[in-house]
Every structure is written in C-alpha cells, then in structure tokens.
A and B are shown apart, each in its own frame.
Chain A
C-alpha cells in the first residue's frame, strides 16, 4: 500500500507543527465483540474466570493510572475513582456474569449486551452533566474489551514521545497526557472548543481534531507530520516534505517565542499609545488561562452557562458565587459581565416558549430579560453583590433603543435599593455599558451614549444584522465580511458618538481577536479589544510593533475603498508587507481559537 505523502484534513485546534510517530489509542476498540455460545460447564467456568481476571486487571491498571497522575491533574482523580466503581457496578459486573452463566455467552458478547443496556438506560437522562458520565462507563467498557481481546491496556507510558491518534479523548484520558510524552493530538471527533482542543492549548502542543477516519487511516508507528496551524496531517512524508516542514516548524517556534514574550508586556504601540487587551471567558476556570496569556481584564464574561446547564433557574447565591470567584481572581483588573444573552427558544423548558420562526430576530437577550424581570433582577443582584469584591462592569446585550437601556438601568437602580435595605455591600458606581450589536443602536449611538458609561461593539451579531448574513448558512457564509465598508463605517460612527460623549468603546467578538483586523480597528479608534485568551499574545505582539499613526493611516485608506474585495486586498497587503511572519502564522494561530 502506498501511503507516501497521504494528506488528511481536519480542524486546526491548537497551533504548532510536529514531526513524529503515531500511537493510535482507538485501534483496540475497533475490534467488534464477537458472539459465540459456550457448551460445557467447564467452558462457562473458564469464561467466568477470564472475565473476572479482566476486571481485576482493569482495576489494577486504573489504580496505577490514578497514582501516576501528574500533580496538575490531581483534581481529575475522581474521574478514575468513578471508573473503578463502575467496574464492579452491578449492571456491568453482575449482569455480564449472569449472561455468561445463564445465556452461555462468551465474555465479550455478554459484556457488550450489558453495556448496551446501560446505554439504553442513559438515553432517557435529561441532565447533560449526568448524561455525559456515559463516557466514563464507555471507557470502562472499552478497557475491559481490550483486555479480553488480549491487547495492551491503554497506556501512554511510551518511552518515545508520540502523536496520539484517537477517536476522541475523554477528560480522564486527556489528564494522563503530559507534554513530555505527547507531541500532539489527532482526533476524529471534536471541534474547536472540544476538550482535546482545550487540553492541547493548555499543554501548548499542536492538535488537529475532526479528522475523519483518522484511527483507520493511521496506524501506530506511522511517521507523520501534524500541522496544527492548517489542520493538515501528512502520512509517511518523503524527505523533501519533511525537510520543508522542519524549516517551517523552526520558523514558527522562533515566531511563537517572540509572541509569547509580548504577553506579559503592556499593549502599547511603538509611539506609546495605550490599548487594553482583554479576555473573553465563559467558565470561571477560564480566568486562569486569561491571566496566563496576559489579559488586562475580562472584556466579555458570558453568563449563559449556569442557566443552560441545569433545569432549574440558578439562584442569586449560585450566580453570586460564580461571579465572585471570577472577580476575585482577576483583581485588581476589570471584569465585564454581560447579562443573560439568550433566546426564549433556547431557554429552560420551565418557561415554555414556543419555537420561533426566526430566533435571531426574536425574543432574546435584553428583550427577554426585560420581559422576564424576575430572572433579570436576580442576575443583576448577583452581579452587584460581586461588584463589592473587585472591579466589575455590567453590559446589556442587543440594545436597540434608548428605552431598553433606560428600563434596564431603572431595574438596576431598584435592585441597588433592595441591596441597601438588606445591608449587602455593592459598588454604587459600577459602570453600565450598552452592547452595540444592532444597526439601530449604531444609528442611535449618540443618544445611547447619554445613558451608557461605555460601549462594547459585539461584532458577531453586528455583522450578521448589518449584512443580513447567517454565516452558518454555507450558501452565503463567504459574504460574512468583517471589513465590509458598511461595517467599518458603522464602527467609525460608534467610536465618534462615544468620543463626543467621552465614554470608552470596547470591542468583543471574533473580529477583535483577528491579527489581520487589529491595525484597522486601532486606526478606527477602538482601543479596547476583548478576545479568547490564546489570541492575546498575538494581539499584543502586533500592537507593540505598530504606531498609532500607521494604524490610522491604514484605517483612513481602507475607509476610502468602495468594495470589500478592495479592502481585503489592501489590508492583506499592508499586513503582509509589515509583518510577513504574522501573515504566515499569526492569522491561523489566533483564528483557530475563534469564539
């Protein structure tokens, strides 16, 4: 079979390039359990013994794994504990034995049947967290099957570092990996924000996910090139290709080193113009990643998670505890909390909203909150209480009229009075921002500015509404253009209105974190950019290598161009001319981690 230079494509999930050998974790799982009937009582006895021995070995393996967890993963030890419990769980352990004894199935088939029943049982579960535990049962199941099949147990203690190839990596598996053993990850499942992607990013090793048939195409021991910048995998590369990738890798490492140095430095242009680079976060745990990459604060704290994760509404106390954790961890840096940005359709079943024809134009975000004032008040109260523990700003999403921001502020004032009565501390001057995401808000920016302490431009929605493009729709996705002249003019208008009212303008949304757009945005007057943590070093790197005058010049010129194609060509050229290495690596590096 000639596999020379065979190319597989996937989604780039963590930047970097490696050349190495593959270790396929899923190959043993591919072996389908076969069916056969046992005849004699002796056979049944032997089969029982075989199964019990497999369980014993699995247990021993799991205990070894647990003890060898590196210290940074100790908190995940309970996942392994859970698996040890599942091993002896009646529905797996006893049921398999019963099937061997009574149905005279071979161990593999009996185990498979028991596992099927568990899977059925879990289908009915509503709570996504509990439902997710099926993963742990599946891992136990696979471990047992591979032991029964006489294959090596899942073990990563290979002497030589390898590129891990798997169908998917569970949290428990991922925790066994340390960067000294693992050069990179390739998985069949998963997207940009999958568990594998996050682990790979925090270990700073390259990863490509969503590679169809990876575990079938790649075999343990195969030589390969993994390019986490483009999402490309090359099997059995010839000397010429290896050579060029080695050069590219070296270039990238040098570049990465330079970029990393910027993360701890202030985001100031060469001519000392100060900017702020902040992190977008969703989970309290992400704060650490933000700090690691040098965030000047949190520019967008998405708060939907707690509402979607459980079926009951989160209590004020639950919200407060989460917010406080983030605020205290970021201290003394600012944390910008976006109030619930959710549509009635996505919302808790308890509220029974009819599905909408057009949810993007429906009852969502601030509209929803102003209708469900009790939910809104609870959240505002929790945010205000958190404001006593650090620097907090609040912002309202999808504002489209002056009325909305006035109503929201009035509710906020009411909640402040409640807190005073209850004697609970809060920051009475907590800044209140309007998110500019709807064309109407751009047109009214000068009026909204009278009622807001800051603006935050949410580009994802603004571009969608301004250009009437649903970028998930493949037919029109290429028309989603952040540098569309209409979008640039809107940004300019918002900046102008804010300047007149003397309030700051921030931007959150994918556009803000894209190295290609940063000079233009800076030139347009947006000096506060919020992005995914991993994109921060690159953003700082660019800002520190440009002058505000240059940025303004680029923006001025771009504004004079008539079509988006002209703008794109011009900006590409300018960036390529000034920062050829950013043009080569930086874009993929940051865009990989788009929101």
Chain B
C-alpha cells in the first residue's frame, strides 16, 4: 500500500527548508527563472523547489519554467549541502526582490 516516507538521517548534511512565494507580477517566467538558476549554480549543494508535490532542481532553468508558477504561487525551498543556509537565504531574497520587476 502506501510507502513510508524515507526520513533523511544523513544528519551531517545541513538541510534548510523555507516557504517562498512568487510575488512578482509576471510569475516565474524566463528571465526570473534564469536568475534563479544562475544563482543556485553558485552554491555547493542542492536546492529543490517544490510546488504541490512537483519538484524542480533550482539549477535547471527548464525544470523551473515547467513548474509553471504564476504570481501568487507558493513554493517550498529545500536546500541541502555545505552551503544550504547561504543558498536558501540568497534565493529567498531574490524572490522577495521580485526580480527587479517594477
């Protein structure tokens, strides 16, 4: 029947979870998605963005676009790896800045 969720017991790897909202008017379209991907690539570790159970690696421009996030979408950001904290904070501020949209 239903599988048990596997809990992450690799306790040495930092994991950061954060709720993120897409606040800019145009949503996560090409330019913002490119900004996210470029930023995510700068950090050591993985960043996953999850929308209603669908996941995208934050480094994958195309996967981000395919998440299909208009304004008002709620995302869960999950960063793992040595720079998890830094990555989470940086991405959070990028979303909060509305990607420089007016």
Question: B48-73 interface mask toward A, CB cutoff 8 Å, 1 = contact, 0 = none?
Answer: 00000000010111110110101110
Minimum distance in angstroms from A285 CB to a CB of chain B: 16
Interface residue B18 (Cβ < 8 Å from any Cβ of A) = no
For the complex, what is the distance from the CA of A310 to the CA of B24, rounded to whole Å? 13
- Which of B8-16, B25-33, B85-93 is the contact stretch? B25-33
Q: Which of A85, A124, A129, A318 contacts B37 (CB 8 A)?
A: A85
Residue A90 lies at the interface, judged by CB distance under 8 Å to chain B: yes
| CB closest residue in chain A, given B72 | A312
**B96 lies within 8 A of chain A by Cβ:** no
A85 CB, nearest partner CB in chain B, Å: 5
Total number of A-B contacts with CB less than 8 angstroms?
64
User: Which of the residues A91, A137, A310, A312 comes within 8 Å of B60, measured between beta carbons?
Assistant: A91
Beta-carbon contact of B66 and A124 below 8 Å: yes
Closest Cβ neighbor of A81 among chain B residues: B34
Q: Which among B25, B59, B68 is the interface contact of A318 at CB below 8 angstroms?
A: B25
Q: Given contacts A82-B30, A130-B29, are A312 and B70 in contact (CB under 8 A)?
A: yes
Count of chain A residues near B, Cβ 8 A:
25
- Residue in contact with B62 in the complex, picked from A91, A129, A310, A312, CB distance below 8 Å: A91
For B59, list chain A residues within 8 Å (CB).
90
Complex CA gap A342/B38 in Å reads: 40
A556 at the interface (CB under 8 A from B): no
By CB atoms of chain A within 10 A, which of B28, B57, B65 has the most?
B65
Whole-angstrom distance between the Cβ of A552 and the nearest chain B Cβ = 51
A89 to B62, CA, bound (A): 7
Q: Is the Cβ of A310 less than 8 Å from the Cβ of B57?
A: no
Q: In the complex, are the beta carbons of B60 and A89 less than 8 A apart?
A: yes
Contact call A130/B34, Cβ cutoff below 8 A: no
CA distance A89 to B65 in the complex (A): 12
Q: Is the CB of A130 within 8 A of B61?
A: no
Chain A CB within 10 A, most for which of B30, B31, B37, B70: B30
Asked if residues A85 and B25 are in contact (CB atoms below 8 Å), the reply is no
Cross-interface CB contact of A125 among B25, B60, B68, cutoff 8 Å:
B68
Inter-chain contact A124/B62, CB cutoff 8 Å: no
- Residues of chain B contacted by A318 (CB below 8 angstroms): 25
Determine whether A311 belongs to the interface, using a CB cutoff of 8 Å to chain B: yes
A81–B35 alpha-carbon span in the complex (Å): 11
Q: Does A86 contact B (CB under 8 A)?
A: yes
Known: A78-B31, A92-B62. 6 other contacts (CB 8 A): A82-B31, A89-B60, A122-B65, A125-B66, A312-B70, A312-B71
